[in-house]
Amino acid sequence: MARYFTLDEANAALALVEPLLRQVVALKASYSQAEGQLQGAAQRIALAGGARVDPGQILQARGRRDAAAARLKELIEEVQGHGCLVKDLDLGLIDFPALYRGEEIYLCFRLGEERIGYWHGVDEGYRGRKEIDEDFLANHGRGRRR
Hey, what amino acid is at 96? Answer: F
Q: Is residue 145 part of a domain?
A: no
Average pLDDT, 10 consecutive residues per value, the chain (146 residues)? 87 96 94 90 77 80 93 96 94 95 94 96 92 92 51
Based on the structure, what is the number of domains in the chain? 1
Q: Is residue 94 part of a domain?
A: no
Task: Work out the number of other CB atoms within 10 angstroms of the CB of residue 91.
Answer: 14
Q: Is residue 78 part of a domain?
A: yes
Q: Is residue 68 part of a domain?
A: yes
Residue-level pLDDT at 88: 94
Q: Is residue 50 part of a domain?
A: yes
Residue-level pLDDT at 51: 64
Q: Is residue 46 part of a domain?
A: yes
Residue-level pLDDT at 5: 95
Backbone angles phi, psi at 35, to 5 degrees: -65, -40
Q: Is residue 26 part of a domain?
A: yes
pTM metric for this prediction: 0.84
Q: Which domain holds residue 45?
A: 7-83
Sign, Cα dihedral of 77, 78, 84, 87: negative
Q: Is residue 90 part of a domain?
A: no
Residue-level pLDDT at 143: 46
